[in-house]
Amino acid sequence: MMLNKEKAYIAGFLDGDGCILFQLIRKSDYRLGFQVKASVIFYQNKKYRWFLLWLKEKLKYGYIRDRNDDICEYNIVGFKAVEEVLGALYPYLRIKHDQAKLALGIIKKYPHNGRDYSPEMLMKIAKDIDGFSFLNYSKKRTITSRTVKKHLVKSKLLSP
């Protein structure tokens, strides 16, 4: 059980050195061709890897990955894990408050098993995920609701 002051501290760290992501990932083995991925990621210089280990101990989910640029990432992936972590940190977030609100809304609105989505539901999720483009700084995002719609129409899974 985390103390409120620990939740507030971790929320401040997420506000400054973390991100909340929802991604649409191409997956040829998925019936509709896309996976919906929810993540919370914390970043830190490798010399402070111990701090990410402390975070993992507190938050109970995820894994730590060492990158080749002297940065470590603590990744929390999956609807259930992201919902639990953001639910605990949400009251204390300032900068990423809107991202967390959008993420929690998406998680509550849609089933967690993406393999069961209908084409119409995937389109709704994709449009909701597009909302992150206004809240995050990502310049690399290439798969949007337009991409998903184009694929679904081309695959004859959705009417134009």
- Contact of 58 with 2, CB cutoff 8 Å: yes
Active site residue 17: yes
Options 17, 78, 98, 131, the catalytic residue: 17
E strands, the chain, are: 18-26, 34-45, 63-66, 71-77
Please choose, from the candidates 17, 13, 25, 18, the residue with its C-alpha nearest in 3D space to the C-alpha of residue 129: 25
Options 16, 66, 87, 105, the catalytic residue: 16
In angstroms, how far is the first alpha carbon of the chain from the final one?
50
Strand bridging mode 34-45 / 63-66: unpaired
**Phi, psi (rounded to 5 degrees) for 70:** 65, 20
- The two three-digit tokens of residue 100, written as one number: 């967390």
Which residues are marked as active site? Answer: 16-17
